[in-house]
């Protein structure tokens, strides 16, 4: 059973052009910026008014606190991440993810998080989106580092809460990675998670991390330790932020 249900919109040139994806290199995370509208209401919009209004826009999967709906088959293009939002000083269109050039729509899956009436994204929606994207990563043989924000591609502030607070995006990727790479439980050797460790942290927990990473064991989380953490995260398919969160700690120990 998948983490979403299929309710495909009709084929049309505006929201479902029925163009085959070349391949899937990234999962692009969005927010709808449409307070109070559910996944089902977005399916109706892209199957109705968006077509009538000749709006070239769509995404593959919409997620709210109750369900996730795939409105475009995952082997087809959706118009979600190739907008001309910003230009470089040379006049060329800004593109921040080289792997998705020249057209991100043909090389990625778009996932939209629905927004509550107060303009926030609920924890239920975020948790469901984590499960959806983890399943997509398994399906297309991707890892947490292959999750990008719409912002990373075009500089459009989407999803805005994850643009304004990068740590929330990194935590999201760590949650996905925890599903993709569950730690092997060994109660006899398990070391309890001490909480987030980052630049400036001190103490025995920092020493344990330093010992694992073969750097100077002084109990001070400085630049050398941070660099070693980033290298470890990159090699392990974790979100690369230099912070030892729960997913990184579990992988280390």
Identify whether residues 55 and 143 lie together within a single domain: yes
Six-digit token pair at 165? 């607070």
Within-domain flag for 17: yes
Q: Is residue 169 within 8 Å of residue 30, measured between CB atoms?
A: no
How would you class 8 by CB atoms within 10 Å of its CB: exposed for 0-12, middle for 13-18, buried for 19 or more? middle
- What pTM did the predictor assign? 0.75
Identify whether residues 100 and 12 lie together within a single domain: yes
In this prediction, residues 166-187 reach a mean pLDDT of 85
Identify whether residues 215 and 166 lie together within a single domain: no
Cα→Cα distances 251→93, 174, 221, 232, Å: 39, 11, 18, 10
Within-domain flag for 188: no
Residue 101: give its domain's CATH number: 3.40.80.10
Identify whether residues 170 and 208 lie together within a single domain: no
**Strand order of the sheet with strand 5-6?**
5-6, 68-70, 61-63, 108-113, 26-31, 147-149
- pLDDT value at 174 more than 60: yes
Q: Which of 38-52, 107-121, 217-231 has the lowest mean pLDDT?
A: 217-231
Identify whether residues 170 and 222 lie together within a single domain: no
User: What residues make up the domain containing 87?
Assistant: 5-180
Radius of gyration in angstroms for the set of CA atoms belonging to the chain, rounded to a whole number: 20
Identify whether residues 232 and 132 lie together within a single domain: no
- pLDDT value at 38 more than 90: yes
Within-domain flag for 198: no
Within-domain flag for 189: no
Residue 226: give its domain's CATH number: 1.10.101.10
**According to the model, what pLDDT value does residue 132 have?**
98
Identify whether residues 129 and 244 lie together within a single domain: no
**According to the model, what pLDDT value does residue 185 have?**
61
Categorise residue 187: left if φ over 0, alpha if ψ from -120 to 50, beta otherwise. Answer: alpha
Identify whether residues 153 and 212 lie together within a single domain: no
* 75 half-sphere exposure, CB direction, 13 A CA radius: 0
Identify whether residues 111 and 222 lie together within a single domain: no
Identify whether residues 174 and 53 lie together within a single domain: yes
Within-domain flag for 196: no
Within-domain flag for 37: yes
Identify whether residues 74 and 128 lie together within a single domain: yes
| The domain boundary residue, chosen from 180, 195, 218 | 180
Strand partners of residue 61: 70, 111
Identify whether residues 111 and 14 lie together within a single domain: yes
**According to the model, what pLDDT value does residue 158 have?**
97
- pLDDT value at 41 more than 80: yes
Contacts with 141 (C-beta within 8 Å, 6 or more apart), sequence order:
none
How many structural domains is the chain composed of? 2
Within-domain flag for 190: no
pLDDT bin (cut points 50, 70, 90) of residue 170 is very high
Q: Which residue has the higher pLDDT, 216 or 117?
A: 117
The widest CA-to-CA distance across the chain, in whole angstroms, is 65
**According to the model, what pLDDT value does residue 89 have?**
84
Within-domain flag for 153: yes
pLDDT bin (cut points 50, 70, 90) of residue 188 is low
Six-digit token pair at 129? 């989106």
């Amino acid at each position: 059973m998948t983490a979403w249900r299929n309710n495909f919109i009709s084929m049309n040139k505006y929201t479902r052009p029925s163009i085959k994806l070349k391949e899937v290199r990234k999962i692009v995370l969005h927010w709808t910026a449409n307070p109070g509208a559910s996944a089902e209401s977005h399916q109706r919009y892209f199957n109705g008014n968006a077509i009538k209004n000749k709006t070239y826009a769509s995404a593959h999967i919409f997620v709210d606190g109750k369900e996730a709906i795939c409105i475009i088959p995952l082997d087809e293009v959706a118009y979600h991440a190739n907008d001309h939002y910003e230009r470089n000083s040379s006049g060329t269109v800004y593109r921040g993810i080289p792997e998705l050039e020249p057209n991100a729509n043909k090389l990625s899956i778009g996932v939209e998080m629905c927004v509550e009436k107060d303009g926030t994204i609920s924890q239920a929606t975020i948790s469901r989106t984590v499960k959806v994207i983890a399943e997509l990563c398994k399906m297309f043989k991707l890892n947490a580092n292959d999750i990008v924000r719409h912002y990373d591609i075009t500089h459009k502030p989407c999803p805005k809460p994850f643009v304004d607070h990068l740590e929330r995006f990194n935590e999201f990727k760590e949650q996905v990675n925890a599903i993709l790479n569950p730690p092997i439980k060994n109660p006899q050797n398990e070391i309890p998670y001490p909480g987030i460790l980052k630049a400036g942290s001190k103490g025995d927990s920092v020493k344990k991390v330093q010992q694992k990473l073969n750097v100077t064991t002084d109990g001070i989380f400085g630049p050398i330790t941070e660099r070693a953490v980033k290298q470890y995260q990159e090699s392990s398919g974790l979100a690369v932020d230099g912070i030892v969160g729960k997913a990184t700690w579990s992988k280390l120990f």
